[in-house]
Each structure stands twice: as structure tokens, then as C-alpha cells.
Amino acid sequence: MNQRELRCFLQVAKTQNFTIAAQQLFMTQPAVSAQITNLERELGVSLFQRGYHEVKLTYAGEVLLPTAKKVITGFDQMTLAVTSLKQDQYDGQPATLRMGLYFATPLNAILDLIHLFTVQYPSIQVMTDAYYGGAALTALRHHEIDVALGLVTPKPDVTWVPIMGDELVVLRSEDYVAATQTSIDLATLKEKMLINLPSSPHDDFSQRQATLLGQPTNQLTVHSMAAALMNLTCADAYMVVPRRAVSELQHIRALRIAAPTKVTQFKIGFAYLTAEHAIATDVFVQFTKLVNA
């Protein structure tokens, strides 16, 4: 029995669905099923009643559930304590944690988390920088930052700590939106100008946007969110951005996209390099996991 098997067990018990649990664990469904099968074989009992649309805990699964929660919580607390000890011994000098923020947006939840972390670990100085789209992951791979906040997508060299959900929305000037309108069909924007921020066509945000829009012929690329919003207020144009990337906009509306949620909705989280990262990164990751447990 290992913690990976127990984490899979807890997630399946929570969601009552192997596919959803796999998505939330950023694993494949067969991999999650294999972990559960291994755990059942080791314990010699069935933990789930498997149905067509959902799974339910057996009596043995109900008995295991509270103990599994305690074991995983205890493991996370132990890991945090050990990494904290390592951090205290690190050089005898203050450490620095360089962080790339999501879409150059100061998310309140993230700022609160950073504040709590700096209070708990005053010897670690957190320095932040702003990035758009998938640029933070590029900076992470180039060792320009230690932690990147972005769209959670499986990468062979990166480990993710999911933090919160987000969704893509369309930004439009109020002059071109009905007073009661809350959503929009992308087909109605076919002839309109799409405003973009600089990004690589291969980054995760660009690929998600391309899935929704294809390759619009009428596009304008600007170099800051401020410039994009200025263009939106004075032109019959639109922009596709994560909802959390914008707030309290004047004369601009954020409209839900009439499209499958598997394309428009996603998780955002912290990414760090799996193979090589500083002790300060370990401490921050474990702290984040405990705060969001």
C-alpha cells in the first residue's frame, strides 16, 4: 500500500467516477483503475461497487475512508515538516522563490496564499513577475522562475499543484452587447476583429483558443492587457481570456462562451520542474497542498 494508491482511492470515493477522478488527479483512467485494483488486491477486499455511470463505496471502502484521509493528511504534514527543516538549514541565508503569475493578473486568492506563506516562512523572499498565456512555463523551463501559475496540463518535465478552476470568456464592448446578454455564440463573431496578446501558437492557452475559434483572418496583436482593453472600448472587436484574468471592467462585458465546458473550463495551478528545483520550491509546494487540502 502506498500514498499514490490511497490518493486515487480518496479521489474516486469523492467523485464516485473513475474518469472524473483521473482528470482531477491528472492521470489516465486506466492508471487510476490500476491503482485501485492494486489496493484491493493488497487488502483482499473490494472497495467499490462499480456501476455503469458511477461507483459507490462498499462497506470495506466506508471503513477505509476515514483512515485513508488521516494517513494522507499525516503524510502531507510530515513532508511539510521535513521540507521546512531542510529550508531552515539551507545555506543559513534567506532563500528566494521566483514566481510567474497567471495572465499578469494579481488574483486575490493567490496574493492571500503568498502572504500566508511569507508570514509562515519569513526567510523565503517571494518575487513575482507577470506573464501572459503559456509564457510562464517557458520562463520556468529556462530557469528564469521557480514556480509558474498557469493552465494545468500534463507535461513530462513539470509537476502541477492545482489551485482553482477558471473558464474562457469573451470580452466585448457594452456598445455591442444587449443589456441582458450573458453568453455568446462564437459564430456571431466570425467577421469581427480578434484582439490577441503575444503568445506562442504551441502554448496551452493558444491551443485551447484555436480549438474554439480556428484561425480567424481578422486579428490584432497588442502587447499589454491595457492596450487590448483600450481597443475593445472603441472597436467592434472581441477578446478571449480566462475569466479570472479580468475584473471590474468599465464599459466591457465578460460573456460566457456557448461551447462545451471541456473546452472552456479548466484548472489553474502552480507548476515546478520535477527533476530540478530548489528547497524553497519544495516548501512552497507542500504549504500550498496543505492550505488547499
Least confident segment among 113-127, 170-184, 226-240: 113-127
* Boundary-marking domain end, from 87, 118, 152: 87
Say if residue 156 is in the same domain as residue 74.
no
Say if residue 272 is in the same domain as residue 135.
yes
Distance, CA of 4 to CA of 272 (rounded, Å)? 19
pTM score over 0.75: no
Q: How many distinct structural domains can be found in the chain?
A: 3
CA 149 to chain centre: 7
Cite the DSSP H helix spans in the chain: 3-15, 18-25, 29-43, 59-88, 108-120, 135-141, 204-213, 225-234, 261-264, 279-291
The confidence band for 23, taking pLDDT boundaries of 50, 70 and 90, is: confident
Say if residue 153 is in the same domain as residue 181.
no
Q: Residue 218 has what pLDDT?
A: 93
Domain extent at residue 226: 166-266
Say if residue 111 is in the same domain as residue 227.
no
Q: Residue 92 has what pLDDT?
A: 46
Q: Residue 72 has what pLDDT?
A: 84
Say if residue 226 is in the same domain as residue 257.
yes
> Residue 173 is part of a domain; what is its CATH number?
3.40.190.10
